[in-house]
Structure 1
């Protein structure tokens, strides 16, 4: 494709007429290592050509060390993206995610990659969506990364309509050495009769899970089976996602943490069999939830192990607001304590909880909507957690 040399007069005139940047912006340009005029041109270009605010333009210039000395190269990149169907809205978003694209040789570097992505069925809209998740997709080598990685995942195989999903989620897996383990590792999973749908989900959404060498994967698989999780179960691939990325010392450390929270060995294994993903949480994250559920809600530690899904919910955005809604409903006599399992209430979907405990009682308790949205606390409503027998409960 022939790329025309752009007319740079508009950018030159804009740069000449650009008023001095007011502080604190102008002070950000001062640096011992950079020429101020380079910063000014870069900032002026980002504002003029892409509609960025001065603050954002300065941030990109400083944080990403973006230096544009003339408009020719960035103009050619923008023109190329438009040629491939990217909209005036998508292009600034792409540049915001990967500013260094403006420094690329559009014809020699970017055009072949866009051509390739288009040839495997990705539209401009899809490529833009992919870049929103995986900003480095166009920074990958075409011959050493994009093409061979595509060949590997197609040999698995995965359907054409899932290729874009793979590229979205493969920011850290776009290496031929990593992905070369996919075929033999998938063979291992098929040997033990892991469902094809689960394998496909893992390849497209969590490719790094299948990146370890095959002997390491077999060790992880055997460990999970010995814990009592069947390869055909829904939780098997979740368990593999956790175990494959956690060495023995880290596993022992996590298990010891939950024992200090009051779990027995059997509590820990029971929780892992129900939802292994709680093991991916940091100790600080889990500790705050355990403390609230045990000390504030009066649960036994073993109760939390029975419903480990709760630990994967946000304390501030889900657990506390839901418990507060239940507290108000109990206080007003709209539901009785013990009438429903609190654990079930906490792991219901957002819509189901809203329908059953907010919308249903909206007329008799209009404040529920503000509470579930975090706009009102129990303290503001005149309620709190009362203490009974040394344990705070709802």
Structure 2
């Protein structure tokens, strides 16, 4: 191993070892380490020093040494070899693409991750991508829908694919072209390499089977897989429904409300056999399906589990009677919808079932009210969905009368330093109205205004009439004759 001293030039002038105390012993054969005896270089000079080494191995060792000696501001120093020409070209293409997407209001916070996950976009010509965006705009879609299509299926930006759709969707004969329809059809066609002709064939097939325009549009919005289905497969599904005594007009309504019924296949027959095994008649099954076609979205084995849960509920008799009045079939399905709602917001299924068991009032509340409470809990109150597992009563209390007023009080106290300790969801919900009023509302006049009329009712309850006033005998005016008679009576008694 030989020791080699190097001389580095900065801006054309030589940098001598004596001037900056720089000694770089480089072990040219079998490099084990690189040591820097003295560092008196500026940041710009240090960067030049590193770039002078053609070997990335040497530069790597030197950079590690600088890190070990806590040299500041190293983010600008090169640590990797210069990119290859093809890599540099791809990088430049991605930068140009990023600027283009930004000009179409693509969220800047999501742009980096989007391009990182879809590096194949670097092979797209930026000019072609701009033309593709122009074709998407020609569909009269809102900007939010265009960004959603690009995020869910980036390959839709392929100009060759979109050129087939330049004539738009109106030429296919849809009665209504919604953003959801365009999104579903484009994404499905791009994934399976279909074109407008394939969509048109499926469109004619559904109309020949007797479906209304509204039902056809709904099918393509929610179940674009119908493009790949054959006419006889769809006819078999419809035939099974008609065997149950369901008329075609009702079948049309079912497909309009729940288009995925066309893709259930053999599972539909298995589901009906399960309903019959549970003791439900054909008329009852038919009535429930016509009133709520999404019952067909249930999987085999789901309804028996929910019926068992409803039979073992432990709650107030009035709540149990209201659930039973819905009927077992309807009650079991409503319970499933509540569990699915909780799972969509991030709760695991076991916890969702436990919440429903501990708070059966959920079955009686509308789904939109439950979702409103969950969104308020997460986005406004700052709790996570897991808090509901510990305090399921949150979903059972009134949103306007209890949740909003109480949170308004706690939020005001928190912002003004009136809380000695943090108030959790349990204290916020489980405290009685009187106790919450005495703890957080009564000492602060501002909070009484937020608590509104509930403060008035709590204040009236707080001032109980004394028992001595309630049991005090009523007094009557006494006459002189009464007093004399009483005196005579007392003397005679003595």
TM-score (norm 1): 0.56
Equivalent residues, number: 299
Residue pairs, 1:173-322, within 5 angstroms: 173-176=226-229, 180-194=232-246, 196=248, 198-213=250-265, 217-224=268-275, 226-228=279-281, 230=283, 234-237=287-290, 241-242=294-295, 245-248=298-301, 270-274=327-331, 276-279=333-336, 281=339, 282-293=349-360, 308-310=363-365, 317-318=372-373
CA distance in 2, matches of 1:118, 1:190: 33
Deviation, structure 1 residue 236: 1.9
Please state how far the C-alpha of 1:285 moved relative to its aligned partner. 1.8
Aligned to 2:209: 156
For 1:230 and 1:385, locate their aligned partners in 2 and report how far apart those are by CA, in whole Å: 48
Instruction: Name which structure has the greater RCO, CA cutoff 8 Å, separation 6+.
Output: 1
Does the 8 A contact of 2:331 with 2:363 survive in 1?
Answer: yes
* Partner of residue 78, structure 1: 133
The 8 Å contact of residues 145 and 179 in structure 2, kept in 1 or not, is answered as: yes
Q: Say if 1:166 and 1:203, in contact at 8 Å, map to a contact too.
A: yes
CA positional deviation for 1:267 = 6.8
Assess, with a 3 A threshold, how the Cα gap between structure 1 residues 50 and 40 changes in structure 2: closer, same or farther.
Answer: farther
Identify which of 164, 187, 207 aligns with 1:136: 187
For the pair shown, the structure with the greater C-alpha radius of gyration is: 2
> 1:326-337 to 2 correspondence within 5 Å?
none
Cα distance change of structure 1 residues 65 and 188 upon mapping to structure 2, 3 Å threshold? same
Cα 1:86–1:259 shift into 2, 3 Å = closer
1:126 paired residue among 177, 183, 189: 177
Deviation at 1:203, TM superposition (A): 1.7
Secondary structure of 1:200 counterpart: helix
Q: CA deviation at 1:64?
A: 3.6
Partner of residue 117, structure 1? 169
Note the C-alpha offset of 1:288.
0.8
1-structure distance, mates of 2:212, 2:289: 23
Q: Determine the C-alpha separation between the residues in 2 that align with 1:191 and 1:271.
A: 24
1:52 aligns with 2:106: yes
Q: Please say if 1:102 is aligned against 2:157.
A: yes
Deviation, 1:196, is 4.7
The structure-2 alpha-carbon separation of the partners of 1:320 and 1:208, relative to structure 1 and needing over 3 Å to count, comes to closer
Equivalent residue, structure 1, for 2:199: 146
Q: Label 1:58 to 1:119 Cα distance change in 2 as closer, same or farther (>3 A).
A: same
- Equivalent residue of 1:126, what SS? coil
Could you tell me how far apart the structure 1 residues matched to 2:148 and 2:217 are?
A: 18
CA distance in structure 2 between the partners assigned to 1:312 and 1:96 by the alignment: 28
* Paired residues of 1:317 and 1:374 also in contact (CA < 8 A): no
Q: Comparing 182-191 with 268-277, which one deviates more in the overlay?
A: 268-277
Give the C-alpha shift of residue 311 in structure 1.
8.7
CA distance in 1 between counterparts of 2:245 and 2:177 reads 33
Q: Is the 8 A contact 2:215 2:253 kept in 1?
A: no
How far the C-alpha of 1:205 sits from its partner, in A, is 3.9
Q: 1:138 to 1:374 in 2, by over 3 A?
A: farther
Residue equivalent to 1:383:
431
Contact residue 144 and residue 176 of structure 1 kept, 8 A: no
SS in 2 for 1:279: helix
**CA RMSD, aligned part only?**
5.0
Q: TM-score, normalised by structure 2?
A: 0.47
| Structure 1 residue 176, shift from structure 2 partner | 1.1
Unaligned runs of 5+ in 2: 1-74, 76-82, 340-348, 377-394, 412-424, 435-494
Contact persistence 2:96–2:126 (CA under 8 A): no
Kindly indicate whether the alpha-carbon contact (under 8 Å) linking 1:158 and 1:200 is maintained by their aligned counterparts in 2: yes
Among 68, 72, 90, the residue aligned to 2:122: 68
SS of equivalent residue, structure 1 residue 44: helix
- Cα distance in 1 for partners of 2:363, 2:222 equals 26
Shift of 1:189: 2.4
1:240 is displaced (CA, Å) by 6.4
Q: 1:100: Cα distance to partner?
A: 1.4
Query: Tell me, what secondary structure is at the counterpart of 2:177?
Result: helix
